[in-house]
A and B are shown apart, each in its own frame.
Chain A
Amino acid sequence: MEFAWTPEQHALRDAVVRFARGALNDDVAARDAKNEFSRALWEQCAAFGIQGIPFAEEYGGGGLDAMAAVCAMEALGTVCRDNGLLFGLAAQMWSVQMPIYRFGSDELKRRILPALCDGTRIGAHGMSEPDSGSDAFSLRTRATPDGDSYVLNGTKTFVSEAPVADVFVVFATIAPEKGVLGITGFVVERGAPGFRVGREIHKMGLRTSPMAELVFEDCRIPAANRIGREGRGATVFNDSMEWERACILAGAVGSMQRQLDDAIAYARSRAQFGHPIATLQSVQHRLVGMKVRLENARLALYRAVWAKQENVDPAPAAAIAKLVISEAWQQSALDAVQIRGGYGYTVEYEAERDLRDAIGSTLYSGTSDIQRNLIARSLGL
């Protein structure tokens, strides 16, 4: 059993860190205050190759695998302080590109994936509705077959990147009476007749990743935009959720490393009672807690990605990773505020932004309660 990156993965990490250090921390505090997405940073990441890493070269990707993508995203997190950017990149990769890649027709993949990989188009994922969040499969958005088209009617909410996205993966039912067995996945492109991006939703954190509702009013899309087969949308969704739960918090693991490094540096430089606070056992124990949670999170991440790549009972591994990493990140972000005392509560020191961003991770891709339900089910409970 190896616990080390390969030389190729090390080289990728080093390259990502060099890229991110020079490019990605431009004015993140100001953009957070203004809820501002940076297309320039998105395009820089695409030019480096981030968005395409795990996808085949024939679809514009980098031809590597999920572990390489996770390696790169973790490396990004160690340097890039824009958690909203990291989240948006990961959300597109696992909940938009991956379902199209794994279940879309070859024509759909060739038409949609290259622009998502090269950054000329941005993808968003629409599943939740005003009355269906954790109970995702109780969705009501309806897709009615009509010749060589489908006509969609309904609303989606909590759609990250929606205000800036061009391509939307959405799930609707073609047969409400069949429940889960009627759900089908679709690609909807901005500009489709009857489709509009609705009101923008302002959030506690991840403010550089904008969010909005989607509204479908007799929205007509070509049948070629269906993802997989009719009635198999639940399979498509569950597969993308396993990828998402396993992989989306790789950037957060990197952020936890950054938070720990910054907290240690602060504790060594901040003197109280005539000594650096790093000499105080209470501070040391808090830093140790951050370190232990980081290592647990790292192991859970790598285990889940391996399990999903190798298809070895991935569902519980992904749920465990999502639960462990999100709650570890939230606690570590709180510890980073505590170590800085009053300064940690100020906007200037940026620790409070990390905490606001981390709280979101316990909610998206299934709340922590849902992850616990999934793990319970795997235990036969």
Chain B
Amino acid sequence: MTDPAVMPAVKSFILERFLVGEDPARLTPTTPLVTGGILDSLALLDLVAFLEQTFGVEFEAHEVDPGHFDSLQSIDTVVRAKLAK
């Protein structure tokens, strides 16, 4: 796969699913998603399913850790690490 635009795709997904009506500029690469209350556990599962379907990666149960998904930046990092394998 060529260098995927991970962060823009994830940002769009989160804005459309969980931040309807919010100003997109307020969702920055470092906005806390889980610790900031934007994503609860069910939302996290939806996000993981989106990442798997969109980028063709797989997350094991132990990898679905809120700490890996707490910002657009950390999500970008973990997805690119899987794509690089």
Contacts and interface: CB of A to CB of B under 8 A. Distances in A.
Given A235-B49, A380-B20, A380-B21, A230 B61 contact: yes
B61 A229 contact: yes
B45 interface: yes
Contacts, number: 30
Nearest to A184: B61
Nearest to B21: A380
Residue among A174, A179, A181, A230 facing the most chain B CB atoms (10 A cut-off): A181
B25 to A, nearest CB: 19
User: In which size bucket is the chain B interface?
Assistant: 10 to 19
Interface string B25-61: 0000000000000001110111001000000000011
B7 to A, nearest CB: 23
Interface in A174-196: 174-175, 179-182
B54 to A, nearest CB: 15
B42 A238 contact: yes
User: In which size bucket is the chain A interface?
Assistant: 10 to 19
A232 B46 CA distance: 10
B21 A181 contact: no
A231 B61 CA distance: 5
Contact of A180 (B21, B41, B60, B61): B41
A283 interface: no
A180 B39 CA distance: 13
B83 interface: no
Interface in A141-195: 174-175, 179-182
Nearest to A379: B20
6 contacts: A137-B41, A174-B61, A180-B45, A182-B61, A230-B61, A234-B45
Interface of B: 20-21, 40-42, 44-46, 49, 60-61, 64
